Amino acid sequence: MRSFFILLVSVFILCSLTIQAQQNDEQMLKRIHDEALAHGQAYGWLETLCRNYPGRIAGSDIYIKAAEHTLSLVKTIRNVNGYLQECEANYWDRGDKEEAHIKAADGTKSPLNVLALGNSVRTPENGITAEIIEVHTLDEVQRLGREKIEGKIVFYNRPMNPTFVETFEAYGDAVDQRTRGPYEAAQYGAVAAMVRSVSLFQSDYPHTGVTGYRDTIHRIPAIAISTNDANRLSKLLSEQKVEGYIKTNCHMVGPRYAPNVIGEIKGSTHPDEIILVGGHLDSWDNTAGAHDDGAGVVQSIEVLRILTEIGYKPKRTIRCVLFSNEENGLAGGKEYARVSNENNEFHLFAIESDAGGFTPRGFVFEADKEVLRPYMEKLSQWEPLLENYGLLFKEGYSGADVHPLLSQKGLLGGLMPDSQRYFEIHHAANDTIDKVNPRELELGAAAMASLIYLIDQHGLK
Amino acid sequence: MRSFFILLVSVFILCSLTIQAQQNDEQMLKRIHDEALAHGQAYGWLETLCRNYPGRIAGSDIYIKAAEHTLSLVKTIRNVNGYLQECEANYWDRGDKEEAHIKAADGTKSPLNVLALGNSVRTPENGITAEIIEVHTLDEVQRLGREKIEGKIVFYNRPMNPTFVETFEAYGDAVDQRTRGPYEAAQYGAVAAMVRSVSLFQSDYPHTGVTGYRDTIHRIPAIAISTNDANRLSKLLSEQKVEGYIKTNCHMVGPRYAPNVIGEIKGSTHPDEIILVGGHLDSWDNTAGAHDDGAGVVQSIEVLRILTEIGYKPKRTIRCVLFSNEENGLAGGKEYARVSNENNEFHLFAIESDAGGFTPRGFVFEADKEVLRPYMEKLSQWEPLLENYGLLFKEGYSGADVHPLLSQKGLLGGLMPDSQRYFEIHHAANDTIDKVNPRELELGAAAMASLIYLIDQHGLK
């Protein structure tokens, strides 16, 4: 009877403690959101970043200034140790603005809104003039073969599929034209490539992005053209032969200093377990990079600020990392992981925000196969808490900068914002501060701070 | 043994049919979304509505033109019977643009960005000049009493509380200053009221909205002032006495023709059960009303178009209703319900879109207490299907136009879009088409079409 009584009391105490812990978590999440929504700093920081450090491609002078600026910002937060992490990135320089036009059968010329693709080679001094051939897939280029492709400008014109509700799926479905299309066309003797901007919207803005060559021989100049121009050109091509002219001035300069920016709060009881929150500091050279990825940068710093401001003392080390060179080389993410592995670090959790500063809809998680199940089970207990804020969990790719940490067998995550507007501004000159809503941006920071709080407080075991 | 075999076969057939029905539903929801995202018309329609029919306050000439235009739009959809429903609304006329300024103790005058509140009375010909007193709640006015309030301009300056994640909760929490504040101040002898714009953002745009008087005696002129001006004025008032000048030219003209617009597809097997989808056609006179509620208007018409375009033949009558006078009298919703009751109609389901054309997050439902439980249980079986599209269900207030149908004991619903950006543009001149994203708008239409399809197909019993 007595042992039964002891059991009963133990169960009661255990239940009370669990309920108490849950209430504490609820209150902490509320405090995090209140701080973000009532006193958020992320939007103001983003305004400054966009205004003073636009076009901060890795290796450029403005990138280094942006790194120094964000480092000083990180250091304004109490108890944060801020420093630059040495890193070299291949600097690609656009040179003078590119030009392109098309010439109809009757000789009429009309200019195109274009941008050289990132990492692309330049045209000869007097440009490239050749007949344009429209294709829709890389397979089509193979099928057409050297006979049809040789000596031509290959025009990839498969639009993003609008019927994907999640627009990143549509991006994944269309982006091979840009990343691999020029190289593929070069295999069959194309002299240049023009790629329809990977955007879901009709506009005059060309959207750049990286392209890749797999060898040193098949490197042809490659440009993005606006969706409006792509439609216009396609219509013309359906009626007649069209000649294209392309002149680009870009070239790969080579390795340059392009540091990662790091700010960390040392953990009180498990300092060796690192929780990372990050975004990438570099942007394309043609844009202020407000959503891509200024948003992720300021949200990551804001996570440190919010946790500090509400007086939270983390058990684990919380580290904010602003990565270099995500756009055209991933040098920052790779170097960060290399150094981390060299130092035998363990990242219990690393989350990246690189999908825009829109209303957060949840998180995506990945981990090494061995450890994913137990992590997801542990996470699932917090789903009800985060559902209160409209946040859901799913499995999938975390993000390009944190992915190299996979081998440490911690949990990797990505913030998953509403994706409808992202491909209106992605890699284009209209990715500006006025496209960002302060509350949406702050809610993303609060979402990450909430999850980081829970993982720091309760671990992942 | 034989009967067991028959039972087994029956169970198998039943299971197959259920799985089949579920697959059909899944496919239909996919077809609805594909049609919306690949061939949507809502954005183009909204552009025209905003460009050609801005400021369509009920009773105005432009309102009638907007009604005729949207009727013709409804009639372009195959098998839709379109007509106007007679309705009269009290027309309120702003007259010449209002003016206001403040005068500091040293005599310096500075103008304010203001708008008369809807349904407000006008000032005398030479305006109202009086000392300004700042308050934050209606209770505070009571507490201050006649001694402090009499002869003054009462300035309500309680900001929306930014810590509500759902911004409509913050609106509900702050809007009494506008709807009841002026009347309350008049009780204590105030000569006019100035209300901080009910917006979550700092800007120079004043946001109007309706105010109400409960008797014919205590009617004082009332204006909204921009959040920037409210902060500036508050700062000045903390240092010194400030005199205000207000001149408004608005007045209530009286009843005028302001029809509802209706388009319906007759049901094939249950024509007497009506499923309504609607928004309100009227807007405030100072705005194009893109989100409020042009979005709801075009989404409601789009629901008819999508269902028709994918070849769906509804069992029940699907009726699109564009209501009149939601902003300042609700004459359209009330008259619609009156006529419907008179004709012994039954609305099985009535859903309204009046919370902006942003990414849909789900639906809110209400019904008479007697019937809400069974409806919610029936609905719950479709939650997994709609969760695929990020749509959740919750209970709450449906919408001002469909609410009068509550007594018919059908189900009432409201589309629940993401609410972060709404109170940046609500009732202000910046509620323009460029604030609307075509995909977000279409997803709202697809969400409503999906739910309507499910209810039409399976009923609510």
pLDDT at residue B6 is higher than 80: no
Mean pLDDT of B46-62: 98
CA A348 and chain centroid, separation:
21
Chain A residues whose beta carbon lies within 8 Å of the beta carbon of residue B440: 420-421
Chain B residues whose beta carbon lies within 8 Å of the beta carbon of residue A389: 165
Report which of A409, A401, A410 is spatially closest to residue A355, judged by C-alpha positions.
A401
Which runs of consecutive H residues, i.e. helices, occur in A116-198? 138-149, 167-174, 176-179, 181-187
pLDDT band at B22 (very low <50, low <70, confident <90, very high): confident
Domain count, chain A: 2
A225 shares its domain with A200: yes
Does A427 reside within a domain?
yes
pLDDT at residue A122 is higher than 90: yes
Bridge partners of A118, per DSSP, are A210
> Do B163 and A438 make contact, defined as CB atoms within 8 angstroms?
no
Does B10 reside within a domain?
no
Could you list the residue range(s) of the whole structural domain that residue B136 is in?
Answer: 98-250
B425 shares its domain with B389: yes
Does B7 reside within a domain?
no
- Structure confidence by residue, pLDDT tens digits, B385-442: 999 999 999 999 999 999 999 999 999 999 999 999 999 999 999 999 999 999 999 9
Report which of A402, A63, A84, A401 is spatially closest to residue A262, judged by C-alpha positions.
A84
Residue A21, pLDDT score: 77
A388 shares its domain with A298: yes
A298 shares its domain with A395: yes
pLDDT at residue B9 is higher than 90: no
Chain B residues whose beta carbon lies within 8 Å of the beta carbon of residue A37: 162-163, 165
Chain A residues whose beta carbon lies within 8 Å of the beta carbon of residue B42: none
User: For the domain that residue A184 is a member of, what is the CATH number?
Assistant: 3.50.30.30
pLDDT band at B277 (very low <50, low <70, confident <90, very high): very high
**CB contact, 8 Å: A172 with chain B?**
no
> Do B38 and A440 make contact, defined as CB atoms within 8 angstroms?
no
- Structure confidence by residue, pLDDT tens digits, A100-110: 999 999 999 99
A429 shares its domain with A372: yes
Among the ranges given (A4-8, A238-242, B282-286), the one the predictor scored with the smallest mean pLDDT:
A4-8
> Do A418 and B421 make contact, defined as CB atoms within 8 angstroms?
no
Q: How far apart are CA B276 and CA B314, in angstroms?
A: 13
> Do A200 and B361 make contact, defined as CB atoms within 8 angstroms?
no
A363 shares its domain with A345: yes
Residue B2, pLDDT score: 64
Cis before B96 (ω within 30): no
SS3 B426: coil
pLDDT at residue B189 is higher than 70: yes
Q: Say which residues have a Cβ less than 8 Å from residue A116's Cβ, sequence separation at least 6.
A: A94, A98, A122, A208, A221, A222, A223, A248, A249, A250
> Do B34 and A389 make contact, defined as CB atoms within 8 angstroms?
no
What ipTM did this prediction achieve?
A: 0.94
Report which of A170, A371, A164, A340 is spatially closest to residue A264, judged by C-alpha positions.
A340
How many residue pairs bridge chain A and chain B with CB atoms within 8 Å of each other?
A: 54
> Do B163 and A440 make contact, defined as CB atoms within 8 angstroms?
no
Asked if B175 and B209 count as a contact pair (C-beta separation under 8 A), the reply is yes
Which runs of consecutive H residues, i.e. helices, occur in B266-380? 295-309, 331-342, 369-380
Does B393 reside within a domain?
yes
Interface test with B, best of A35, A43, A389, A420 (most B CBs within 10 A): A420
Q: How far apart are CA A399 and CA A169, in angstroms?
A: 14
> Do B420 and A359 make contact, defined as CB atoms within 8 angstroms?
yes
pLDDT band at A313 (very low <50, low <70, confident <90, very high): very high
- Structure confidence by residue, pLDDT tens digits, A125-171: 999 999 999 999 999 999 999 999 999 999 999 999 999 999 999 99
- DSSP letter assigned to residue A120: P
Asked if B215 and B443 count as a contact pair (C-beta separation under 8 A), the reply is no
The burial of B30, by beta-carbon neighbours within 10 Å (0-12 exposed, 13-18 middle, 19 or more buried), is given as middle
A87 shares its domain with A122: no
Residue A127, pLDDT score: 98
Across chain A, what does the average pLDDT equal?
A: 96
H/E stretch holding A274: strand A270-280
Bridge partners of B89, per DSSP, are B256
> Do A163 and B33 make contact, defined as CB atoms within 8 angstroms?
yes
Last residue of a domain, one of B202, B233, B250: B250
Q: Which two tokens stand for residue B281?
A: 């056609």
Last residue of a domain, one of A231, A249, A267: A249
pLDDT at residue A8 is higher than 70: no
pLDDT band at B45 (very low <50, low <70, confident <90, very high): very high
Chain A residues whose beta carbon lies within 8 Å of the beta carbon of residue B33: 163, 165
> Do A37 and B361 make contact, defined as CB atoms within 8 angstroms?
no
Q: How far apart are CA B184 and CA B188, in angstroms?
A: 7
B145 shares its domain with B236: yes
Minimal C-alpha gap between B37 and chain A (Å): 5
Mean pLDDT of A448-453: 98
Q: How far apart are CA A214 and CA B295, in angstroms?
A: 48
Q: How far apart are CA B226 and CA B201, in angstroms?
A: 10
Mean pLDDT of A26-44: 98
Please, what sign has the CA dihedral across residues B395, B400, B406, B410? negative
Does A2 reside within a domain?
no
**CB contact, 8 Å: A168 with chain B?**
no
Asked if A46 and A279 count as a contact pair (C-beta separation under 8 A), the reply is no
pLDDT band at B240 (very low <50, low <70, confident <90, very high): very high
Residue B8, pLDDT score: 65
Bridge partners of B102, per DSSP, are B110, B244
**CB contact, 8 Å: B163 with chain A?**
yes
User: What is the pTM (predicted TM-score) of this model?
Assistant: 0.95
B169 shares its domain with B306: no
- Structure confidence by residue, pLDDT tens digits, A196-210: 999 999 999 999 999
Residue B188, pLDDT score: 98
User: For the domain that residue B411 is a member of, what is the CATH number?
Assistant: 3.40.630.10
Across chain B, what does the average pLDDT equal?
A: 96
Minimal C-alpha gap between B288 and chain A (Å): 20
pLDDT at residue A317 is higher than 70: yes
Chain A residues whose beta carbon lies within 8 Å of the beta carbon of residue B171: none
pLDDT band at A10 (very low <50, low <70, confident <90, very high): low
Mean pLDDT of B323-351: 98
B102 shares its domain with B82: no
Does A72 reside within a domain?
yes
Residue A139, pLDDT score: 98
CA B277 and chain centroid, separation:
13
| Rg of the Cα atoms in chain A | 25
Q: How far apart are CA B193 and CA B114, in angstroms?
A: 12
**CB contact, 8 Å: B383 with chain A?**
no
- Structure confidence by residue, pLDDT tens digits, A265-308: 999 999 999 999 999 999 999 999 999 999 999 999 999 999 99
pLDDT band at B228 (very low <50, low <70, confident <90, very high): very high
Last residue of a domain, one of A224, A249, A274: A249
| A-contacting residues in B 303-362 (Cβ below 8 Å) | 359, 361
Could you say which of B34, B359, B421 has the minimum Cβ distance to residue A163? B34
Q: A205: how many CB neighbours lie within 10 A of its CB? A: 22
Q: Which two tokens stand for residue B226?
A: 């921009």
Minimal C-alpha gap between A392 and chain B (Å): 9
SS3 A252: strand
Mean pLDDT of A37-50: 98
Interface test with A, best of B26, B33, B47, B165 (most A CBs within 10 A): B165
Question: Residue B200 is which amino acid?
Answer: L
Mean pLDDT of A353-375: 97
Asked if B194 and B208 count as a contact pair (C-beta separation under 8 A), the reply is no
Q: Say which residues have a Cβ less than 8 Å from residue B271's Cβ, sequence separation at least 6.
A: B316, B317
Does A21 reside within a domain?
no
B262 shares its domain with B227: no
Q: How far apart are CA A95 and CA A266, in angstroms?
A: 43
A84 shares its domain with A99: no
Does B83 reside within a domain?
yes
